[in-house]
Amino acid sequence: MLEDPVLRRALDAVHHLTDPEPPWLGVLEGACGLIGGESATFIMVDAGGQLLSAQQWNVDPEAERAYREHYVQQDIITPKALGAAPGTWLDTAEFF
């Protein structure tokens, strides 16, 4: 039995990733709790690079708005992600 409440909440959220509407905030909050992060973002784009979803936890609403309205088109990850195999780890530091 899991005694760590942070790990328990994270795993509970992950078990619902296949739900019609996954609990992204729970997953992101859980990931931050496990690694000691302060914020998290899950971004999904279609095959043409158009933003489908941007789920964020503990992110400044103004930064989220600016990303959606402007920076998504300049995201350095998107071009690499479009042709990547499922499960590929993309490291922003490598792209810089």
Percent of the chain scored above 90 by pLDDT? 31
d(CA 40, CA 12): 18
Helices (H), the chain: 5-14, 24-35, 61-69, 77-82, 92-95
pLDDT digits (tens, 9 = 90+) for 28-67: 999 899 889 999 998 888 888 888 889 999 999 999 999 9
Helix (H, G, I), strand (E, B) or coil at 90: coil
Q: Whole-model pTM?
A: 0.73
